[in-house]
Chains A and B, each alone.
Chain A
């Protein structure tokens, strides 16, 4: 047998070859790699130097000490974290606000576990979590001091608006989606017009309308509290978007499913609740998580209609004269808080997408 020449034998370990393929495959690629790493390292170094090496952490440090050190002044967080987290909530009662936040976060984490993914269990978990939050925050019962909604603030208010929006918005979204998919043309068309109108408006204008215009429009006894009006507006906005997502999920459900159920004589409400919606939600899960992410970020818009939520209390945290210089640190801190929630949620969404992609095959 003659030996067949198979070309040059690969030299060196595979690790090295992979490195070459990924970063140095051509001169241009080498240049790009060097530039990118240079940029990353220099930005990383500047941030590390500013945020850790030359930063001041001591709670008693003020502007002179911080500027002498030349880095970030985390003392502002050490001094003002209560304001950022709890807003104007009474000082002695702030443990309740903290506990309420924990309750909501636990609820959110629980509803991410597939064991709870049935309509009843999800409803139970969210109702329980929300009730715990509300009782803890509001008080006035079980021996807790009454704290009115105007005094709520900081992270707790942000979470409250988010959770309330989701709880009211989700059933509304399902109703919208079903109505828009109705076989009765007039119901489908009017619902479609309402959804499209809401979707084409900016959320700020809806919040503004609900906060400032609605008192003129409604009789005196409905929705007295501004907070609940704003939540209603935010829920309407959420529902309009979520309805389209659910409708997209419904379109992915094979028509035969509904026809088969109909031929078995299953009534409409069971057809929807047991056959259509579970499959539609499965199809729409990635988009739904994405919508939750966006909704969480958009709770910060209520700052415009004058609420003291996370962003607004952050603005107040550097609002006094001895801390005005430290705005970057406060914004970095708040951005980090939002980042944890939003990044966690979106990573979870990506995980779900992978998980479902394997299940589908």
Chain B
């Protein structure tokens, strides 16, 4: 035994077995204790609860839900809500971040000052405080009868009412899907390595075909979704005590999206600034020496190089922002986490639901990171660096 222990290889093997074994033992003991404790409360472990009806309602869902729907449907809707809010938040945060980042690298000192003030204020206040603040503000807007009107939209404490097209919800959802597939195809066509050698004219023709087909599908979907005897455009207007018509955006959603966009925008602004700083001075000077205009040098030289420099860090920030949608629980937005939390309180299937929660976020975050890494690899300059 002692000689075995003195042998490096066997000692290493023993150490590893011990380490993994202790970890496994911890997990197994925890699971067994939990099962024992839950059985004492009369809760049976297993996945059959997923097909039971929930008995409670979701505050918001993209597709119709009711209290008689099963748990798996609610969980799926929760994931959809998280993705929905995440995509809106990411898009706006990127927009805000791009503006702030550009202002921070601008040659104009006034713009730099404005960017810096924005950044320092919103980056240094916790996101949850900002969410609480915007939500409280949204709830203190005037009641529907005294709603504020702004360009056809109505602002009230029941939400923002936007003018929109009078079409059914499913066709909007399908339209979004078509749009997403179309833009993904366009992105693929313009970025993928395999199309790099295709003649530019052919590439342009393919791209326009994709765009036209997407637009055509959208039109057809909207036409199918449009109820025949109603006007095409719907405007919000006051009827009785409430507002009818238009699209209603609930205070929970826009307060959350607003907070995520503002807070995330500050962080993304710093990433954008870092990306532009990483572009060497020599590149800009060379562009100037070649007689490119400011605009050409920006769009053809600095922006493409900066995007390549910022993409890897941006991926981490995007993953972080997707996780930030879990703050929906403080304002009552039924995101994935809130659905899981209420499912736990109602069904008691704690372990299974926590497992689903973890698996869900793992899948969302890993696929987001995989997509971003794929883009990163497609646009990376092979054998080049951002030379100064």
Complex contact B33–A23 (CB within 8 A): no
Name the CB-closest residue of A to B325. A202
List 6 contacting pairs A-B, 8 Å CB cutoff, sorted by A: A23-B110, A200-B366, A203-B323, A205-B358, A217-B33, A338-B124
A315 within 8 A of B: yes
Name the CB-closest residue of A to B36. A216
Partner of B114, one of A25, A39, A300, A342: A39
Name the CB-closest residue of B to A190. B20
Complex contact B107–A29 (CB within 8 A): yes
Alpha-carbon gap, A338 to B129, bound state (A): 9
A331 and B133 in contact (CB under 8 A), knowing A37-B110, A186-B20?
Answer: yes
Q: C-beta contact mask, B1-30 vs A, less than 8 Å → 1, else 0?
A: 000000000001001110110010000001
Complex contact A216–B128 (CB within 8 A): no
- Among B202-245, those with CB < 8 Å from A are none
B84 within 8 A of A: no
Q: C-beta contact mask, B118-146 vs A, less than 8 Å → 1, else 0?
A: 00110111111110110011001000000
B188 within 8 A of A: no
Contacts of A334 in B (CB 8 A): 129
Partner of A197, one of B34, B337, B358: B358
Complex contact A23–B16 (CB within 8 A): no
Q: Which 5 A-B pairs have the closest CB atoms?
A: A202-B323, A36-B110, A297-B126, A186-B16, A22-B109
Complex contact B366–A300 (CB within 8 A): no
Alpha-carbon gap, A212 to B12, bound state (A): 38
- Among A13-47, those with CB < 8 Å from B are 22-23, 25, 29, 32-33, 36-37, 39-40
B371 to A: closest C-beta gap in Å: 15
Alpha-carbon gap, A197 to B354, bound state (A): 13
A1 within 8 A of B: no
Name the CB-closest residue of A to B319. A200
Partner of B136, one of A186, A331, A342: A331
Alpha-carbon gap, A115 to B228, bound state (A): 78
Q: C-beta contact mask, A179-205 vs B, less than 8 Å → 1, else 0?
A: 000001111001000100100111111
Partner of A40, one of B12, B114, B129, B358: B114
B151 to A: closest C-beta gap in Å: 21
Contacts of A200 in B (CB 8 A): 319, 361-362, 365-366
A33 and B110 in contact (CB under 8 A), knowing A204-B329, A212-B344?
Answer: yes
Complex contact B33–A216 (CB within 8 A): yes
B37 within 8 A of A: yes
A339 within 8 A of B: yes
A202 and B361 in contact (CB under 8 A), knowing A33-B108, A297-B126, A338-B125?
Answer: yes
A298 and B33 in contact (CB under 8 A), knowing A23-B108, A200-B365, A216-B350?
Answer: no
A211 to B: closest C-beta gap in Å: 11
B330 within 8 A of A: yes
A303 and B108 in contact (CB under 8 A), knowing A36-B113, A216-B33?
Answer: no
B297 to A: closest C-beta gap in Å: 15
Beyond the given pairs A40-B114, A346-B123, 19 more chain A to chain B contacts, judged by CB atoms under 8 angstroms and listed by A's residue number, are A25-B108, A32-B110, A33-B109, A184-B12, A184-B16, A185-B16, A186-B16, A197-B362, A204-B327, A213-B344, A213-B350, A216-B38, A217-B34, A298-B126, A300-B129, A328-B133, A338-B125, A339-B121, A339-B125
